[in-house]
Amino acid sequence: MKRLPLMIALVAAGTFVPGTADAVGPVEPMPGTLQEIRGIDVSNWTGQVDWPSVVGGGGTFVFVYASEGTTFRNPLFAAQEGGAAGAGLFRGAYHFAQPHESGGTEQADFFVDNGGGWSADGRTLPGVLDIEDNPYANRNGLDNCYGLDQERTVAWLKDFTARYRERTGREAIIYTTTDWWRNCTGDSSAFGRNPLWLARWGAEPGPLPSGWLRQTFWQSADSGSLPGGQNVFNGSLTELRMLAQPPAELAAAGRPIGSGGYGVTVLNTGTIPATRVSVVGRTFGGRRITGASPGCRFSGRAVRCTIEELRPQGTAELEFATEPTEPTGHAKAVERAKPDKSAKSIKIAKKAEPAKPYRQENDRAVHEEIVPDAVEPETAEPEAPQAEEPEEGMKVTIGTVMVTIDDRN
């Protein structure tokens, strides 16, 4: 037997905050135009910032100093980050590493607990690990690599980035200089998955550390027309939006349920929550939808559902009940005239019951071709060619998952 299939399309939509923030924040350039995406970095030394003037001066993003080691918190962090958010800027936090004082795991926890976390609001950038020349050499008596050899430095970096990924689901951005990276890590290529924020004051970024083909951000000066450090994003505004809110990673699988029912399992395979996942579907092959899971609306052959949130590795189960549509007119006459493929006739005393959702029943009465005794096979009209039905399986693309349920014997 063939179960007539239900096709489901899933589209993951990231959560973006509407309203006044978008109204005063950066605007997507017209197609075909080039726009330099400028931003700043600020600390407690910057003091209070006139955030509307940053937007008016062409600023699009900001990184705010949040913490250092496991003891220092920027006393102005809340005011600076809140002001940037109110102005509609993309914003992220950064942590100044002190790898000689405590482990990478401990400092990542301190950072996340003090402003360095990430939220799926469409405006928060991943947190930054600021690792550079030791500025306290006169005080702590250590070299530029904080007294760590290259092996220990790489291990510390791996501990920090792994813990940050575990806590937030995002890859920490690494801020560094090419010289420091080469001297203190041995030019390690182990961190290419982490976005690079390259510090090099001058007219061009210059050579990159090993492991990166491009920088994501470039700090070109410590001061300029905007407050704080002067930075450029290496990409478009759309790409900056995607760094703040990457598309969710979804997978899905379908299955038949009982007589005329269909089920779909949706899985978040990524590391960040998937919010407001839209599920739209339609039946084909002469069936209509008669029931669906909570959160779904249906009419005729169409259904639309919304999954409010899927945590990483979380699943959602959706189920749909369908029944055959009643053939009319010429279609009904053709249905009566179809030859008996099983070489026997089946007498039906009454109309088959509609498909009942979510129950394991014998679906023969619903799906078997029915030929009344009064119609002889040789007098029947030739059966019209049938269009090939989609094969059972799952098609996956970025941001969109296509599932086709087709029960074949």
Catalytic residue, candidates 22, 132, 392, 407 = 132
pLDDT confidence of 299, banded at 50, 70, 90?
confident
Over residues 134-154, the pLDDT tens digits come to 999 999 999 999 999 999 999
Catalytic residue, candidates 130, 249, 323, 363 = 130
Residue 265 pairs with which residues in a beta bridge?
253, 317
Between 18 and 323, the more confident residue is 323
Query: pTM (2 decimals)?
Result: 0.68
Quick check: 312 and 272 in contact, CB under 8 A? yes
Range with the largest mean pLDDT of 226-230, 248-252, 259-263: 226-230
Q: What is the mean pLDDT of the chain?
A: 78
Q: Active-site residue 132, yes or no?
A: yes
pLDDT the model gives residue 303:
82
How far apart (Å, rounded) are the C-alpha atoms in residues 318 and 166? 29
**Percent of the chain with pLDDT strictly greater than 70:** 71
pLDDT confidence of 276, banded at 50, 70, 90?
confident
Q: In what order do the strands lie in the sheet with 287-292?
A: 250-257, 261-268, 315-324, 287-292
pLDDT confidence of 398, banded at 50, 70, 90?
very low
pLDDT confidence of 333, banded at 50, 70, 90?
very low
How far apart (Å, rounded) are the C-alpha atoms in residues 53 and 247? 31
The residue with tokens 């009319």 is 328
Between 407 and 213, the more confident residue is 213
pLDDT the model gives residue 109:
98
Q: At residue 34, does pLDDT exceed 50?
A: yes
Q: How many other C-beta atoms are found inside a 10 Å radius of the C-beta of residue 262? A: 29
What is the token pair recorded at 21?
A: 């923030």
pLDDT the model gives residue 84:
98
Over residues 349-383, the pLDDT tens digits come to 333 333 333 333 333 332 322 223 333 333 333 34
Catalytic residue, candidates 41, 81, 249, 363 = 41
Q: What is the DSSP string of 225-244?
A: SSSSEEEEESS-HHHHHHHH
pLDDT confidence of 304, banded at 50, 70, 90?
confident
Buried b (16+ CB within 10 A) or exposed e, 21-42: beeebbeeeeeeeeeebbbbbb
pLDDT confidence of 20, banded at 50, 70, 90?
very low
Across the range 88-113, mean pLDDT stands at 98
